């Protein structure tokens, strides 16, 4: 099993390009990020070239987090901002060599207008991403952490993907969020595997290192591998002690157990 360091949550004491270098030293096979936009893309590219790590993805900007925004794509009255966020993410992502762009939906009332806006933004994202050979990801996010998030269930993501009928639209299967909202992770993953573009893990409920809580990662990821998952799994957790290096004791044993 291969692992990707999510440098949005890991190594947060370092500048982003140095987080890529730290991930390489720690033995990760890939990296992924959240919002790299303040860093000149050439600096990200240089760290990726130097380490040889693939960049799996980045997020569209969330809007104004201080005002409670957690994405824009499904907000009917923010369509222009959502489109600009998509253009920015595809452009930056392509320059960095990223494989995927995660388009963040935002908090909505869950009504038809929101889903219509969401599909319109995703259609644009798929068109732009296709020109760069990139895939668009949509991620069901738990509503305990992000109340009102438009996309919270894997089946809803599958419905949206079916409605759009695009080849480059996939699910970000984040086991942390889906365990909280729905559970039944192994069956749900097997059922939706053809639609899954990326997998992420963290302990539940504390979102710490994947070495405890209510998920047995060894058995979960063994089942994912048996189902056919070969791409890296994203380590998207918040180190419990704050120090990423100190908390990395989970990586080698989990990798060894899965080989």
Q: Which residues contact Mg ion (rule: CB under 5 A)?
A: 174, 200, 236
Each residue 46-65 as x (binds ligand LASSHYVV by CB under 6 A) or -, in order, gives: -------------x------
How near is the Cβ of 139 to ligand LASSHYVV at its closest, in Å? 5
Two tokens at 55?
């960049």
DSSP state of 143: T
- Least distance between ligand LASSHYVV and beta carbon 200 (Å): 6
Q: Which of the choices ligand LASSHYVV, Mg ion, none does residue 59 contact, using the CB cut-off of 5 to 8 A by kind?
A: ligand LASSHYVV
Give catalytic status of residue 115 as yes or no.
Answer: no
- Out of Mg ion, ligand LASSHYVV, none, what residue 96 binds, judged by CB under 5 to 8 A for its kind, is none
Of the candidates 118, 93, 116, 90, the one whose C-alpha atom is nearest the C-alpha of residue 105 is: 118
Kind of pairing, strands 3-6 and 233-235?
Answer: parallel
3-class secondary structure per residue, 208-231: CCCCCCCCCHHHHHHHHHHHCCCC
Nearest to 169 by CA among 177, 180, 161, 179: 161
Question: By C-beta, is 48 or 151 nearer to ligand LASSHYVV?
Answer: 151
In the window 92-121, what residues touch ligand LASSHYVV (CB under 6 A)?
102
| Residue nearest to Mg ion as judged by C-beta position | 174
The number of CA neighbours under 13 Å toward the Cβ of 162 is 8
Q: Beta partners for 101?
A: 58, 136
Among 236, 239, 244, 254, binds ligand LASSHYVV (CB under 6 A): 236
Residue of 50, 49, 51 whose CA lies nearest to 23: 51
Q: Is 32 a catalytic residue?
A: no
Catalytic machinery residues: 139, 236
List contacts with ligand LASSHYVV (CB under 6 A): 34, 59, 102, 139, 141, 174, 177, 200, 236
């Amino acid at each position: 099993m291969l692992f990707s360091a999510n440098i949005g949550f890991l190594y947060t004491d370092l500048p982003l390009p140095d987080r890529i270098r730290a991930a390489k030293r720690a033995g990760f096979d890939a990296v992924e990020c959240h919002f790299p936009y303040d860093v000149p893309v050439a600096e990200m590219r240089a760290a990726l070239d130097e380490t040889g790590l693939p960049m799996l993805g980045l997020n569209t900007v969330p809007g104004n987090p201080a005002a409670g925004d957690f994405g824009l794509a499904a907000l009917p009255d923010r369509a222009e901002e959502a489109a600009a966020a998509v253009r920015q993410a595809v452009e930056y992502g392509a320059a960095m060599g990223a494989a995927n762009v995660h388009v963040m939906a935002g908090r909505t009332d869950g009504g038809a207008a929101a889903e219509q806006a969401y599909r319109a933004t995703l259609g644009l994202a798929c068109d732009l991403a296709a020109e760069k050979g990139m895939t668009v990801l949509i991620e069901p996010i738990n509503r305990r952490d992000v109340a009102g998030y438009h996309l919270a269930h894997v089946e809803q993501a599958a419905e949206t993907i079916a409605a759009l009928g695009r080849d480059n639209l996939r699910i970000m299967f984040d086991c942390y969020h889906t365990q909280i909202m729905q559970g039944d992770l192994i069956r749900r993953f097997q059922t939706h595997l053809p639609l899954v573009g990326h997998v992420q893990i963290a302990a539940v409920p504390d979102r710490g290192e994947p070495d405890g809580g209510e998920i047995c990662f060894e058995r979960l990821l063994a089942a994912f591998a048996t189902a056919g998952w070969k791409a890296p799994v994203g380590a998207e957790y918040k180190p419990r002690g704050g120090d990423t290096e100190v908390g990395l004791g989970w990586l080698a044993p989990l990798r060894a157990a899965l080989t």
